[in-house]
Structure 1
Amino acid sequence: MTAPPPAGPDDPRAAAVCLDVGSCWTKAVLVLPDGTPAGFAEHPTTPDVLTGVDAAVAAAAAAAGRGSGAPRVLACSSAGGPLRVAVVGAETLLATEAGHRVCRSAGARVVGVHSGPLETDAVQELSRRRPGAVLLLGGADGADPAVLLHNAGRLARTRGRWPVLLAVDDGARADALDLLLAGGRAVTTCPNVTPRPGEIVAGPVRDAVAALYARHVLGAGAGRFGALARTGTHAAVGDAAGVLARVSGTGVLVVDVGSATTDVHRGVPGPGPVTATVEGDLGVRDGAAGVLVEAQAEGIVDPVEADLLGPAVAALEDSRATVPADRGAAAEDRRLAAIAAVVALRRHLRHTGVLDEPGSGGPGRDAPVAGEIGLVVLTGGVFRQRDAAGLAAAARTVRHDGALCAALGGAEVVVDSESVLAPAGLLAAHGREAAARSLLAEHLPG
């Protein structure tokens, strides 16, 4: 009998290196064809991206041993981090609130707000914020368009490749668009975010922001890395949530806490898409300040704990790709990650209509989802710690949160300490669902 030819890198019989390129860390997991993880490596994400990628892939592939065949590299990326949005509007409070509502759950972070006519110093300050996009507002329908048209003209003449989200009154949109296009700006037009005084309609613009984020998050989109990483990490983890729901036979919520963003994915066992939200202001490195601010606003952290965590948050924001130096630092990392997970889950459930917004006075709509979610999974590099008691404490923080209890009922909360969610999603997306199912079933607790 003739022996079958050795498996090539594109053959499902070959091992695969599942690569997750984050804004701070590049992680690689070698997965054998039967779904067994055989090696893990990580490397700080390098400025050129590829140096860290090559180092992580080589270290993980070395665990394959001889005769295993050349592994195929399956990659996802969140190297771009959150989409940085600068808001330019007519009135400070309204522009600030509109910007935060538009960016929330869409992968974006507000990095600056300017109100009134843009002058030279304001334009320079905007450029220093390094926006990935500018949200241009004009006020209520029928308002005097003079400030809007002035700002559109200034933005058209400003250096920088960032696109403009033009979310203004129908009556002024065409003139503002002409000015921006004449300056060579890429423009996405949207309905007015502030159609009436005091009213904010964020949904359509939030969708446009999410679409920009999906392209931005990949990071360096050209060359070898662009060909390698064609999907965002949030999409890969979403695919894994869908597989996990099918494997477990229950509704699943997956919370992926990263250095700069925190994502939530809801998968259902039957037909239906995975719903996802991405929080661009929550993370455990350069998003750490946002975690602490939002945790206080949500009443999750009291002033005493906020003061205690403050120095750690300031250090983490500057540290980027670091590992905790001692048990105390590791505990602070886990605490911030658990808090980020709670805030992100609350936002996700509000975004999908399960929980009411704070202060609305409504009872929420907890009942329809209670019992539908049987499993909540916390994932992300911060949870790759060998401290069972510490990880259990992080899970308890989520399980016993007052705002989540009614919505999630008796759902089990587990921690993906082996970092198998993103690899499973990559495997499933590349026609290796059997391996993905095996990986999740064997290596995810619960």
Structure 2
Amino acid sequence: MDKQMDFVLRTIEERGVKFVRLWFTDVIGTLKSVSIAPAEVEGAFSEGIGFDGSAIEGLTRSHESDLLAHPEPSTFQVLPWRGTIDPAAGMFCEIRTPDGQPAVSDPRNVLKRSLENAADAGFSFYIHPEIEFYLLKSRQFGQEGPVPVDSAGYFDNVPGGTAHDFRRSAVRMLEDLGISVEYSHHEGGPGQNEIDLRYADALTMADNIMTFRTVVKEVAIEQGVHATFMPKPFADQPGSGMHTHMSLFEGDGNAFYEEGAEYQLSQVGRQFVAGLLTHAREIAGVTNQFTNSYKRLWGGDEAPSYVTWGHTNRSALVRVPRYKPGKGSSARIEHRGIDSAANPYLAYALMLAAGLKGIQEGYELPAEAADNVWALNERERRALGYKALPTSLDESVAAMEDSELVAETLGETVFSYVLANKREEFQRYRHQITPFELNTQMNIV
């Protein structure tokens, strides 16, 4: 038996684990779970656990519905929020067909394929996300809408406050799960918080993000509040992004680092950024997958609205952070467009694919945006060649449906489902009569 499998079985016995949750996501990024008894785990490793894939959003069609969830022992973790009464553990799964092939519709498998393409080119891909979210007093909203748990702002210290206690409990729980946290602090909006996870390879990080969201939700319930990763829950407050720092490594060397280059950014790094910019509009339907995502991108504050890059420019879509002298391994680029509601498996697969395309095709990096892009007028932005990101989900879908890069990266099944799902969402959104329309038009027309 594999050493990792043996470790899982021994830990289950030694810790008295009563339930083992097998985790995977649908195409939108909703975490799915099935619990099995400890006695079934060894069989799950060898044979998988069967389920009806047609009942899960986007996983398969009804006439080919049988799928198997195969737990990956390297992702095993005892779930600390379950306590000592009937302890539970969890593992992420690879979804396979009955003949043992990876399911083409499994989002985790989509990311694996992108990582294999990177490996074929000699690269490994590392991620460090800054994850923002809001804490609300209740999940039930009255006429006044959602109510944040506090009125604090950026980096505010609120001793004894809900957010302070929340972050302390959440960080401790994440560390118990082996997920390293780099920073945590109050963000700019009332009730808004940010927790930054330490660098990891992209697949591990995508798993960690899914676990992170579960931890945040569980701690919120425990403390009598509600946590949301909705991109823009308040019209007059900042949205919640998931700024993502990325690096490519060739062996032990950071492929983005070149001593003496501008910003110490190598040619590979410049081409990767050029790829992200070239394909930014095409992949926005996944990095910003909901109608509400575009309220964040076009709602002001620090969300990027235009396809630009810069060094210390926080209005740019892609930023090249300051170089730390003597730390070439820390060279990285930051994508500021992706929001906290994205499916990390699909979003990171596309971001990687876009960057690799830039390297493979030798894309030229356009001129840096040195000015505050938001402060420019439309004529100035046009003259500088700054293209706008999509202003709506409908515009994103239109850009995505003609994209060979998105179709090839996601695969036909996932690509078709994402397009259909997003079209349906926008149709439902467009049919709504909003309070804005009623308040501004009911009595004047």
Report the TM-score, using the length of structure 1 for normalisation. Answer: 0.32
